[in-house]
Amino acid sequence: MSDGNPATAANPWAEVNLRREAEKRGVDPARIIFAEGMPVEQHLARQHLADLFLDTFNVNAHTTASDALWGGLPVLTRMGEGFAARVAGSLLHAVGLPELATESSDAYEAMALELATDRAKITYLKERLATNRLTTLLFDTDAFVRHIEAGYEAAYDRFFNGEAPADIEISA
């Protein structure tokens, strides 16, 4: 964890700005903990210590959100219109937690406040995630391989049958 000294931080400007904005809003800046970089295995292992991953907008977390979900950390996101603003929402739907994919800033903020003050709801979401991560399609590599191979075969068949390119849908 960062020692709180912006001079030794990975992004000193972000730390200073976040602490200043927290203080302006009545949050003790000392409550903000900046985690240092570390090997992936250790980084993933520490994620279960957090309660909630607050995603960014207008560019959502991609692999970082997937890593958080795999590590048992629920992700709260705001979905937008473009691909980059919909990735985390897609991950949440695939892991069976669609209620954490909000559609507006107001809904995002309301859900963040609710989860910050409702320990039982966070516990429930973490338990659901623990079950879902091993039973839903998001982390089912075998199903992914079967589906992508079926898509490749369908595209190959279309091409060699003289058909024009088109969307290919593979059923789960």
Q: What integer is the mean pLDDT of 134-154? A: 92
The DSSP annotation for 39-81 comes to: -HHHHHHHGGGSS-EE--SSS--SHHHHHHHHTT--EEEE--S
Instruction: Give the pLDDT band (50/70/90) at residue 38.
Output: confident
CB 143 within 8 A of CB 137: yes
- Name the more confident of 59 and 9: 59
Same domain? 92 vs 46: yes
Residue 17 lies in a domain: no
CB 59 within 8 A of CB 84: yes
CA 128 distance to own-chain centroid = 15
Coil, helix or strand at residue 17: helix
- The pLDDT value recorded for residue 8 is 52
- The pLDDT value recorded for residue 4 is 52
The boundaries of the domain holding residue 126 are: 38-138
CA 78 distance to own-chain centroid = 10
Same domain? 162 vs 116: no
When the pLDDT of each residue in the chain is averaged and rounded to a whole number, the result is 91
Residue 26 lies in a domain: no
Q: Which among 42, 90, 83 is positioned nearest to 65, based on CA atoms?
A: 90
Same domain? 128 vs 144: no
- In sequence order, the β-bridge partners of residue 54 are 76
Q: What is the pLDDT of residues 106-137, one digit of tens each?
A: 999 999 999 999 999 999 999 999 999 889 98
Residue 12 lies in a domain: no
Does the pLDDT of residue 7 top 80, yes or no? no
Q: Which among 87, 85, 50 is positioned nearest to 65, based on CA atoms?
A: 87
Same domain? 55 vs 124: yes
The residue whose two tokens read 């048992």 is 72
In this structure, the number of other CB atoms found within 10 A of the CB of residue 87 comes to 21
Q: What integer is the mean pLDDT of 35-44? A: 86
Does the pLDDT of residue 90 top 80, yes or no? yes
CA 33 distance to own-chain centroid = 19
- The pLDDT value recorded for residue 89 is 96
Say what the pTM is.
Answer: 0.76
Question: What DSSP character marks residue 136?
Answer: S
Number of domains in the chain: 2
